[in-house]
A and B are shown apart, each in its own frame.
Chain A
Amino acid sequence: MRRFLFSDLTDNVNHIKSVICDDLLTARFFSPPNSPKDNFCVIYLRNLVDNKIVNEGIVFPIMLFFQNRSSGEPLSEVLKEKIIVSSQIQLTNLMDELFAGLLSGMTVLLLNNSTECLLIETNLRDVRAPQEPDNEKVLRGPRESFVESLDFNIQLIRRRIVSTDLHLDYQVIGKDTKTRICICYMQNLVSPDLVSIVKARLARLNFDGILDTNIINEQIKDARYSPFKTIGVTERPDVLAGKLMEGKVGIIAEGTPVALSMPYLFIDNFYSPDDYYLNVYFASFGRILRMIGFVVSILTPALYIAISTHHWEIIPSPMALTIAHSQQDIPLPTILECVVMLIIFELIRETGLRTPIGIGQALSIVGAIVIGQAAVQARLVSSPMVIVISLTAITGLINTKLKGLVIFARIFFLLMAFLLGLFGIALGVLLLIAHIAGLKSFNVSYLANFWPLSRKNLQDHFIRFPKQNIHRQGEQEHG
């Protein structure tokens, strides 16, 4: 492929046409009446540009200019400085830049006898209005979410942090997609090491394209095979702004409404934006509930299996009798019953996620009646098992951030309980804690600030202290 532009106009146009196969590629030739040698051409992709800008900002001023042109200044400079009405014009002599600009909605102005062309910003801006985020609902607080346009997302952040300390660092990644991403951080709060680590990891990236930030996430996160998240994900500009104010680094990409933030610690899994918008007591209670929910959702089936198949003696006799009674004449062994029920629940959940909204309700009714009541009445499933599975399922939905982990941890603990009883669960918990403690997120320990249990460390952990007491740079001190 040719690196620099030809000096001849027709050569350039022919070359462009041979590279870009698109019928909507439009090339318009102009030849000034007084100097026919200085003819030039405007090229753009019709469906990517704003016709209004092309007409009013480029074609019309040029026509007007040629009607009373006199001096012999270089045409490209004159056009760039004086004639064309656009907020952003760029002069280049590289073929690559020309194509990148053309394909991202710029208009190219090619001049005869010149190895430079003008790239004029004429991008068609079609932006979805920010809606309330579906996945991170709050009771109180802002209802805006990010949209697919990077610039608009930056605008949402800038609106919240009006500070010259907010640094935005744009990069283009992806061989084919040439996606613009933006690394943002507060210069006065962030640790410089963190920024350099993030940039180094991004520089290492090598892939064809990114369609969503998750692809970046998977490539730059620590412990790639760990089910734990070490990079935060949010759809909410207020959350990202909050993270930046804590001294974290954010990454926003063109074309996706999901922003990343790092480092991301274990305790972040239990945060909700509501924690900061609601009363301190209520928020702290909610956070503790989420932690309990996490433990309950991964351990309940395992504990039930351990108790009902290994350690009958540790439960009170009436409860043992109830469990024994409900297990009577159930065809499947308890462990199989539990695994089957868990899989059925995941099937229902996944189906509910993939079906149109209208069908969801019918699905839940069928699910509740069929595997709830009918299965128990038919004595295919024992009723404590239904309770255990429902409890697991409900608490599993509390922490959406830990979804993937919870499912696997649950099965893991179930197997441990099946093999070794309560001892197995204890062993499993140890392994899990060892794994969590070994994780790092961008050189910050995943369990940072858990120990020692000092007031300073704990002010935004298990409970949230009133805002004025919270240090701004919580995570950075161990960094």
Chain B
Amino acid sequence: MGKQIWKKMFLIVFIISIGLTMSGCWDYQEINNVTNVAGIALDKGEEKKFKLTFETIVFKPSADFNISVKLVETEGDTIFEGIRNAVAVAGKRLYIGHCKAIIFSEEIAKEGIKEHLDFFVRDHELRMTLLVFVAKGVEARETLKDTALNHQIASYELERLVRNDEKYSSLSNHKLLFEVMREILDEGISLTLPVVEIKQIEENKTFTMEGIFYFENDKLAGFIEPEEIKFYLILKGKLKGGIINVPLEDNPNQFIVYEIQGCQTDFEFKTGNNPLLITKVSIKTSIGSNPVILSRQFSVQDYQRMLETWLNQELVRFFAKIKNQVKCDVCGFEKRFFQKYYQEWLKLSEDNKDFFEILEFQVKVKSEVNHTGTVKP
């Protein structure tokens, strides 16, 4: 009996000591001994390579929930150095586990962002669902400075903006850290990153997220306008919401507004001399407004036909644009191709042909107008 108890005691002590020494997670630390970072902005430094701006959250001691934001700026030759240098400024270690956004400056992005992302991926504190942005027109740190309108914390507001943009406006396309890494590391797709700009609204300035930057070999190469993001999203198969303005056939200054309720894109390839991409778009919409007030001049079929014709034509135009002007496979057609037709893709690359240059494009749009908003459709 006594022997058994000793055996049990030994086992318990053994298990606990194994857990303590092997698991590596016995790091007891008070949550108030660190400073929470909400967002990080990266600019070129004056003395060192980087200038890092941390949006840190400051608590005021009171019984009510009272927080404010302080920007902490440091410089360092590496990002990690910058973060650790910040201790000298902030007084506490910066904790980046609840960091929501990284904003690169345009300058840095032009030189390539691959190497800078390594730290964010490697560090164990950060979440892989971090949002990555590039500031347009201003220094990255400006986007965090007094830009939050509704909330104290700009980075958290940025996160909310991203979520609503995806659902309601589709003016940009957000990227999470792991998606960024995938686009950088995968072949056959070019990286794109959303843009943050500063806008003046009366006395306040705030940020907006409109349009995306595209990258060529991880260096910033150009900008896609917010109006064209929906086409980009359709060709990526990622359109979820927003509205589409379709000009009237007889009067291009007036628009019928379609509200997107869902969109699915299927890709088919035909291999021949040149590969041919057949994109099948089926889009579900409802009518948001019509220039002729509550007119019944159009039937549902009319609405569908108008949307299909216009979208067809715009998608062909957009494809031509990215093929000829952008010259980057931002939608990842090549990736889709080699996932399905690897042998053919190998043959193409043996022939030293650039896939995207010789890709031909066809699109078939099928639309469905669920309701027109009037009582009798």
Q: Is A281 an interface residue (CB 8 A)?
A: no
Q: Name the residue on B nearest A379 (C-beta).
A: B61
Closest residue of A by beta carbon distance from B95: A312
Q: How far is the CB of B57 from chain A (nearest CB, A)?
A: 6
Given contacts A321-B57, A376-B63, A419-B26, contact A427 B19 (CB under 8 A): yes
> Measured between alpha carbons, how far is A422 from B156 in the docked complex, in Å?
27
A420–B20 contact, CB under 8 A? yes
A166 at the interface (CB under 8 A from B): no
Bound CA span A418–B30, Å:
11
Min CB distance A371 to B, Å, is 15
Do A431 and B36 have beta carbons less than 8 Å apart?
Answer: no
Which residues of chain B come closer than 8 Å to A431, judged between CB atoms? 12, 15
Q: Which A residues touch B95, using CB under 8 A?
A: 312
Which residues of the partner chain B approach A376 to less than 8 Å between Cβ atoms?
63
Residues of A within 8 A of B15 (CB): 427, 431
Q: Which chain B residue has the least Cβ–Cβ distance from A335?
A: B28
A421 engages B31 (CB within 8 Å): no
Which residues from chain B contact A427 at a C-beta distance below 8 Å? 15-16, 19
**Known interface pairs A308-B31, A324-B36, A328-B32; A421-B26 also in contact (CB < 8 Å):** yes
- Determine if B59 is an interface residue (Cβ-Cβ < 8 Å): yes
Interface string of B124-148 (1 = CB under 8 A from A): 0101000000000000000000000
Cα distance A257–B2 in the bound complex, in angstroms:
36
Q: Which residues of A contact B19 (CB under 8 A)?
A: 419-420, 423-424, 427
Option from A308, A320, A418 in Cβ contact (under 8 Å) with B36: A320
CB of B32 within 8 A of CB of A324, answer: yes
Q: Report whether A312 and B97 are in contact in the complex, using a CB–CB cutoff of 8 Å.
A: yes
Q: What residue in chain B is nearest A427 (Cβ atoms)?
A: B19
Cross-interface CB contact of B59 among A328, A420, A421, cutoff 8 Å: A328
Give Cα A422 to B31, complex, Å: 16
Instruction: List the A side residues contacting B201 at CB < 8 Å.
Output: none
In the assembled complex, how far is the CB of residue B262 from the closest CB belonging to chain A, in whole angstroms? 28
**Which of B31, B32, B98 has most A Cβ within 10 Å?**
B31
Q: Please give, as numbers and ranges, the residues of chain A lying within 8 Å of B30 by CB-CB distance.
A: 309, 327, 333-334
A317 interfacial contact with B, CB 8 Å: yes
B29 lies within 8 A of chain A by Cβ: yes
Q: Assess the A313–B32 pair: CB atoms within 8 A.
A: no
Chain A's closest residue to B12 (CB) is A431
The interface residues of chain B lying within 8 Å CB-to-CB of A325 are: 59, 65-67
> Is A81's CB within 8 Å of the partner chain B?
no
A323 within 8 Å of B by Cβ?
yes
Collect the chain A residues with CB atoms within 8 Å of residue B66's CB.
325
The answer to whether B100 and A423 touch across the interface, beta carbons within 8 angstroms, is no
**Contacting pair B25 A313 (CB below 8 A):** no
Docked pose: A328 CA to B62 CA in angstroms: 9
- Asked if A377 is at the interface (CB within 8 A of a chain B CB), the reply is yes
Cα–Cα distance between A333 and B27 once the two chains are bound (Å): 14
Closest chain A residue to B33, Cβ basis: A327
- For the complex formed, measure the closest distance between the CB of A367 and the CB atoms of chain B, giving whole angstroms: 20
State whether B63 touches A313 (Cβ < 8 A).
no
**Count, chain A residues at interface, CB 8 A:** 32
Chain B: minimal CB distance from A301 (Å) = 15
Contact present for B28 and A324 (CB under 8 Å): no
Q: Chain A contacts of B38 at CB under 8 A?
A: 317
A321's contact among B25, B27, B36, B61, by CB below 8 Å, is which? Answer: B36
- Cβ contact within 8 Å between A309 and B31: yes
- Bound state CA distance, A254 and B95, in angstroms? 66
* Chain B residue contacts of A334, Cβ below 8 A: 30-31
Residue among A309, A312, A383, A418 making CB contact with B98, cutoff 8 Å: A312
Task: List residues of A (310-344) whose CB comes within 8 Å of B's CBs.
Answer: 310, 312-313, 317, 320-325, 327-330, 333-335
Residue of B nearest to A333 (CB): B30
Assess whether B23 is interfacial by the CB under 8 Å rule: yes
Q: Which residues of B contact A423 (CB under 8 A)?
A: 19, 23, 25
Q: Which residues of A contact B61 (CB under 8 A)?
A: 328-329, 379
Question: Could you say which residues of chain B place their CB within 8 Å of the CB of A379?
Answer: 61, 63
User: How far is A101 from B94 in the complex, measured between Cα atoms in Å?
Assistant: 82
* Shortest distance from the beta carbon of B313 to any chain A beta carbon, whole Å: 44
Of all chain B residues, the one with the shortest Cβ separation from A419 is B26
Contact B156 A317 (CB under 8 A): yes
A309→B28 contact, CB < 8 A: yes
Residue from A308, A310, A317, A383 within 8 A of B25 (CB atoms): A310
- The answer to whether A420 touches B98, judged by C-beta atoms less than 8 angstroms apart, is no
| Interface flags, B1-36, vs A, CB<8A=1, else 0 | 000000000001001100110010111111110001
Across-interface contacts of B20 in A (CB, < 8 A): 419-420
Most chain A CB atoms below 10 A, which of B15, B23, B28 = B28
Give chain A interface residues in 258-288, CB to chain B under 8 Å.
none
> Is there an interface contact between B98 and A421, defined as CB atoms closer than 8 Å?
no
CB within 8 Å of A: which of B35-79?
A: 36, 38, 57, 59, 61, 63, 65-67
B26→A420 contact, CB < 8 A: yes
**A420 B63 Cβ-Cβ under 8 A:** no
Task: Given A328-B61, A379-B61, verify A312-B31 contact (CB < 8 Å).
Answer: yes
> Chain B contacts of A377 at CB under 8 A?
63
Q: Is the pair A313, B28 in contact by a Cβ cutoff of 8 Å? A: no
CB proximity of A427 to chain B, nearest CB, Å? 6
Cα-based distance from A310 to B20 in the complex (angstroms): 13
Distance (whole angstroms) from the CB of B275 to the closest CB of chain A: 44
In the bound assembly, the distance between CA atoms of A423 and B59 in angstroms comes to 30
- Assess the B98–A419 pair: CB atoms within 8 A: no
Known: A313-B98, A321-B98. A418 touches B28 (CB 8 A): yes
Chain A residues near B31 (CB-CB < 8 A): 308-309, 312, 320, 323-324, 327, 334
Residue-wise, chain B 219-240 has the 8 Å CB interface mask toward A (1 for contact) of 0000000000000000000000
CA distance A335 to B31 in the complex (A): 12
Nearest-CB distance from B368 to chain A (Å)?
Answer: 37
**Interface pair B59/A313, CB less than 8 Å apart:** no
Task: Contact check, B23 vs A420: say whether CB atoms are below 8 A apart.
Answer: yes
Question: Among residues 363 to 410 in chain A, which have CB atoms less than 8 Å away from a CB atom of chain B?
Answer: 376-377, 379, 383
Chain A residue nearest to B27 (CB atoms) is: A310
CA distance A376 to B30 in the complex (A): 18
Residues of A within 8 A of B59 (CB): 324-325, 328
For B16, the chain A residues whose CB sits under 8 A away are 419-420, 427
Whether B12 lies near A313 (C-beta < 8 A) is no
For residues 98 through 117 of chain A, which have their beta carbon under 8 Å from a beta carbon of chain B? none
Residues of B within 8 A of A313 (CB): 97-98, 125, 127
User: Which B residues have a C-beta under 8 Å from some C-beta of A?
Assistant: 12, 15-16, 19-20, 23, 25-32, 36, 38, 57, 59, 61, 63, 65-67, 95, 97-98, 100, 125, 127, 156
Q: A324-B31, A379-B61, A431-B15 are in contact. List 9 more A-B contacts (CB 8 A).
A: A317-B38, A325-B65, A328-B59, A329-B32, A418-B28, A419-B16, A419-B20, A419-B26, A423-B23
A residues lining the B interface (CB < 8 Å): 308-310, 312-313, 317, 320-325, 327-330, 333-335, 376-377, 379, 383, 418-424, 427, 431
Ranked nearest first, the 9 interchain pairs of A and B with the lowest CB-CB distance are A313-B97, A327-B32, A317-B98, A325-B59, A328-B59, A329-B61, A324-B31, A309-B28, A421-B25
A-B contact pairs, 5 of them (CB 8 A): A317-B156, A324-B57, A420-B19, A421-B26, A431-B12
